[in-house]
Chain A
């Protein structure tokens, strides 16, 4: 049976946290700016570079590729401070969270030398080309395909919900490199595609509040040189699923609406028995979820691959992010002006984007089915 273990921090880790907290307090004095909401955050390239200058982007990249060689736990500590303050982490987010780790794990020496130093310096940003118009949670059904050509591949197809393609430099693209056979998970590969390539067009898909976050990316005979294939041709599925432990369990899966709660406490008057009861329940849940999420970072550092744990924490955390809004809205008394003060604006943004929390990275329903199968398998094995 799975179990989560509390994990304290070393003196060095505490020290890192103090430094990040000071940096964040300087950059974002509370009440003077509209906080961002988790990974829906706007891109602020200058902020990402300032962060990179401190060694806090691509933290897990080792020194031989110009990185600081820090642990998953140290990255966790940096990221949670940024998210709790509502920092604009959008630009470097994907490169930092998952591209750097997967290039490190599966990339050729040439790919590592080409990309890792520039991720660490905040000069190269990635986005993810996974979903397609007909492939959402059933990711293995992607139809974007690459066919062989001299010195590389010709890519054709269409990706959607590609966050940040309008400012990123590369899109990590999951595509079919051989026709779909009996096993739908075979024949998939990951290609690193330059977003400035000929034949590639990016167009916005606006969110329901008008924000430009998602894009459609269309590939028409886009040439991708051989060396930009990540890992083995045909191993795309294995590689993509191994990213999931990084993708699913981080602080971004329970802290998205934290700034809303924080600003509620600062900008509105919370008092009385109902406020105590409901805020107390939120505090207990944050406490437990954060420590579960932290324990996953620790086990990644111990060389484990806690994919199921990560899946469960993502399900719990993203549902909780929505619950937080329900509580805050009730306590704030409703009818907050979406164009009003900082709290009103933040609550409005959070309310209309909340449905994305439990969709992105695989819907929670699909995650639960995956997790259930694992639990049932473990149970059969134990009998």
Chain B
């Protein structure tokens, strides 16, 4: 990691550790952590993607969110909305601008309305819709930024993160321009950033598992001395490392490799999450399935995030089509293509 990325990583870790510790987390429940958000905002982190930030920086940010299980829409604001708006050379409105996820049932329509544009339709599963002032969305190649309506249909994911349904009836768009980014690129970026958060959450699940196995005693010795438990710990570590590597490959990939690498990253993270959640809970025993333990902060996010921006299965399909199209002779050159700087 370069010095700048290292600094960004440490800054995020410090903010999350200091201002969102265990007590604060329990006290906040499902309320939006305004104090934490203000700090992130002041540090310039909530709009990072719009300032010409590289994917590498946004991945550091997404991973830190996962590692801390931070209940904030940093990936959606900085990683997605700010990036979409910045790429179109527009400016973000004040306040929180979240990003629509490109849900299959979304049906926004944009029509001319005097000098501006009026938007109608529904956006589904919008992260932190209720807490946001605006939402960025792509409609038929057009980037719109819309004020979030007063009333939203509340929903959540398994981790309790808001995933709300927003309805628009002829709403005047804050921004409506030709999008510089297409829906596939948005979905790919969403997949890579979710995969990065998943890798971060897996790192924490691994740390918790190693710590617990090293201190919990049964049959007169720490459970880490049982080979069966050791096998779990190693499997958790291996899958965590695979997910992290897959994300770093997506960051290092050339433009030609980006689609393949993004698909591989979300596929890998999804497959890894299945192993890590199961085995981390097995190591922890009953205490791990209580709400007084930290493990579920991470495992619930992994269960939720593995489905968002495409499941492992959904991302496997395009990879498989590529394999079939390349045939036997083309497979090896594709798999062994050089990634990143020497």
Contacts and interface: CB of A to CB of B under 8 A. Distances in A.
Interface of A: 1-10, 13-14, 30, 80, 84, 258, 261-266, 270-271, 273, 275-292, 295, 312, 315-316, 365, 368-369, 371-373, 375-376, 379-380, 383
B264 A365 contact: no
B335 A283 contact: yes
Interface in B208-263: 210-211, 213-214, 224, 227, 230-231, 233-235, 237-238, 241-242, 244-246, 248-249, 251-252, 260-261, 263
B203 interface: yes
Interface in B20-58: none
Contacts of B342: 7-10, 13
B335 A290 contact: yes
A3 B224 CA distance: 22
A214 to B, nearest CB: 27
B61 interface: no
B320 A4 contact: no
B100 to A, nearest CB: 27
Contacts of B233: 372, 375-376
B328 A316 contact: no
Given A6-B249, A261-B331, A290-B336, A283 B319 contact: yes
A61 to B, nearest CB: 23
A283 B316 CA distance: 9
B312 interface: yes
Nearest to A373: B230
Contacts of B264: 283-284, 287-288
Contacts of B106: none
A2 B324 CA distance: 35
A15 B246 CA distance: 26
B271 A281 contact: yes
Given A6-B245, A279-B323, 19 more contacts: A1-B206, A2-B237, A2-B241, A6-B248, A263-B328, A266-B327, A273-B317, A275-B324, A276-B320, A280-B315, A281-B319, A283-B319, A283-B320, A284-B246, A291-B245, A292-B241, A369-B231, A376-B210, A376-B224
Grouping DSSP codes into helix (H, G, I), strand (E, B) and loop, the B interface class, with mixed when no group exceeds half, is helix
A275 B211 contact: no
Contact of B211 (A284, A286, A383): A383
B111 interface: no
A308 to B, nearest CB: 9
Contacts, number: 177
Contact of B242 (A80, A288, A295): A288
B238 A315 contact: yes
B112 interface: no
B230 A372 contact: yes
A258 B333 CA distance: 13
Contacts of A3: 241, 244
A80 B336 contact: yes
B323 A265 contact: yes
Contacts of A292: 241-242, 245
A379 B210 contact: yes
Contact of B317 (A5, A264, A276): A276
A292 B243 CA distance: 11
A209 to B, nearest CB: 24
Contact of A4 (B210, B241, B316, B334): B241
A375 B261 CA distance: 29
Contact of A369 (B227, B315, B335): B227
Contact of B316 (A265, A281, A365): A281
A284 B231 contact: no
A262 B332 contact: yes
B131 interface: no
A260 B261 CA distance: 24
Contact of B327 (A13, A265, A369): A265
Contacts of B339: 6-8, 291
A266 B332 CA distance: 13
Nearest to A368: B234
B267 A262 contact: no
B116 interface: no
B141 interface: no
B268 interface: yes
Contacts of A1: 203, 206-207
